[in-house]
């Protein structure tokens, strides 16, 4: 996981959630279910094509009426012989508009988490998959998509894991997805700190450089202490992910990673606002000196909501700690 941390962190120096998501997000969250729970054929063909950059994959969980409440999903897959017929809608799907493969959460059984399955759909060989690009506040190049499945015929062999056991696949994937969000959000916070620091050493007001004003130094110090603390937490959690048995990590680290993800997006939001205040009007325009600040300010919501909103994750962390009797 440390190699992946470095890889994502370096890419995130671009200071654009949209560019980063457009390059790797579908791969980072859509492929792991195949790698951990997919068939050997899936790993040899689909995984190889995606890792080689020949094909693009996306994760399809969120629906118009089911976001953080994953178990409330309504997309259904009905078994007919050796196939499933999939009908339903997915919303806010990253990379969906240009994806070849779709890792999809569907309902194959009863209501709630025990009736959820995961399966692999392919655009070229399965008619009935329609994608529409969504215009969002931020992460513009990411290909945020509204996906419709209309009587899509999916071979039973495309089931990822066991029928009605898809919730386990989703939960295992969530830890890695949320961890990845933390890597990105904290690098973006660091970009905002770096840009603000450099700007403060050049811009002058009232006959002084911004850096000479105590209030500006206070803002930079507040940003720095939060960014450094988050990075320390991130490396600590990454080490645990590397050392802890995967089945144990899936449950034991769920709460701490949820807490860390919520913390990182709050730090990101704080740094975006403080950077905007330091840059002033320059951070309110989409070009010029404050271009990166303006763009990242719009990207904050894409880290505070997807993968579980801050409110849901904070509650999850406390509930898990309560069950563990910490």
Question: What are the percentages of helix, strand and coil residues in the chain, rounded to 5?
Answer: 60, 20, 25
Task: Please give the pLDDT value at position 67.
Answer: 74
The model's pTM is 0.92
Q: Which residues contact 247 (CB under 8 A, 6 or more apart)?
A: none
Task: Please give the pLDDT value at position 66.
Answer: 80
Q: How far is 56 from 253, CA to CA, in rounded Å?
A: 29
From the list 186, 183, 169, 178, the residue with the least C-alpha distance to 31 is: 169
Contact 79, 106 (CB under 8 A): no
Tokens of 300: 């904050």
Residue by residue, what is the 3-state secondary structure of the chain? Answer: CHHHHHHHHHHHHHCCHHHHHHHHHHHHHHCHHHHHHCCHHHHHHHHHHHHCCCCCEEEECCECCECCCHHHCCCEEEEECCEEEEEEEEEEECCHHHCCEEEEEEECCCCCHHHEEEEEEECCCCCCEEEEECCCCCCHHHCCEEEEEEEEEEEHHHEECCCCCHHHHHHHHHHHHHHHHHHHHHHHHHHHHHHHHHHHCCCEECCEEHHHCHHHHHHHHHHHHHHHHHHHHHHHHHHHHHHCCHHHHHHHCHHHHHHHHHHHHHHHHHHHHHHHHHHHHHHHCCCCCCHHHHHHHHHCHHHHCCCCCHHHHHHHHHHHHHHCCC
Phi/psi for 239 (5° steps) reads -65, -40
Task: Please give the pLDDT value at position 247.
Answer: 83
Q: Mean pLDDT per segment of 10 residues, for the chain of length 326 residues? A: 97 97 94 95 96 96 84 92 97 96 95 92 97 96 97 97 92 91 98 98 96 98 98 98 90 94 98 98 96 98 94 94 76
Task: Please give the pLDDT value at position 152.
Answer: 98
Tokens of 88: 């339903």
Task: Please give the pLDDT value at position 63.
Answer: 94
Task: Please give the pLDDT value at position 251.
Answer: 85
Q: How far is 235 from 254, CA to CA, in rounded Å?
A: 16
Q: How far is 250 from 321, CA to CA, in rounded Å?
A: 14
12 sits in the region (left: phi over 0; alpha: psi -120 to 50; else beta) called alpha
Task: Please give the pLDDT value at position 326.
Answer: 53
Contact 274, 285 (CB under 8 A): no
Point out which residues pair with 107 in neighbouring strands.
76, 116
Tokens of 188: 């973006």
Task: Please give the pLDDT value at position 91.
Answer: 96
């Amino acid at each position: 996981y440390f190699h992946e941390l470095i890889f994502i962190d370096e890419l995130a120096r671009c200071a654009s959630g949209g560019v980063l998501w457009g390059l790797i997000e579908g791969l980072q969250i859509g492929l792991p279910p195949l790698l951990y729970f997919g068939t050997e054929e899936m790993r040899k063909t689909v995984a190889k094509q995606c890792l080689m950059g020949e094909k693009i994959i996306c994760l399809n969980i969120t629906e118009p009426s089911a976001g953080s409440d994953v178990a409330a999903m309504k997309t259904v897959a009905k078994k007919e012989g050796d196939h499933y017929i999939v009908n339903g809608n997915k919303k806010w799907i990253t990379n969906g508009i240009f994806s070849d493969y779709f890792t999809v959460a569907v309902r194959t059984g009863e209501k709630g988490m025990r009736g959820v399955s995961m399966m692999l759909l392919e655009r070229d060989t399965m008619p009935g998959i329609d994608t529409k690009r969504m215009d969002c506040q931020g992460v513009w190049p990411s290909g945020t998509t509204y996906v419709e499945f209309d009587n899509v015929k999916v071979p039973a062999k495309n089931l990822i894991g066991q029928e009605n056991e898809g919730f386990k696949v989703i939960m295992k994937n969530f830890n890695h997805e949320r961890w990845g969000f933390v890597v990105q959000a904290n690098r973006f916070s660091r970009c905002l700190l770096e840009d603000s620091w450099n700007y403060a050493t050049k811009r002058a007001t009232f006959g002084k450089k911004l850096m000479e004003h105590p209030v500006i130094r206070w803002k930079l110090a507040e940003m720095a202490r939060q960014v450094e603390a988050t990075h320390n937490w991130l490396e600590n959690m990454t080490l645990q992910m590397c050392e802890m048995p995967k089945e144990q990590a899936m449950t034991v680290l769920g709460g701490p990673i949820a807490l860390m993800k919520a913390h990182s997006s709050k730090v990101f939001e704080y740094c975006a606002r403080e950077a905007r205040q330091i840059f002033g009007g320059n951070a309110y325009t989409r070009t010029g000196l404050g271009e990166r600040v303006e763009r990242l300010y719009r990207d904050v919501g894409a880290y505070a909501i997807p993968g579980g909103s801050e409110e849901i994750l904070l509650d999850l962390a406390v509930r898990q700690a309560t069950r563990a009797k910490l």
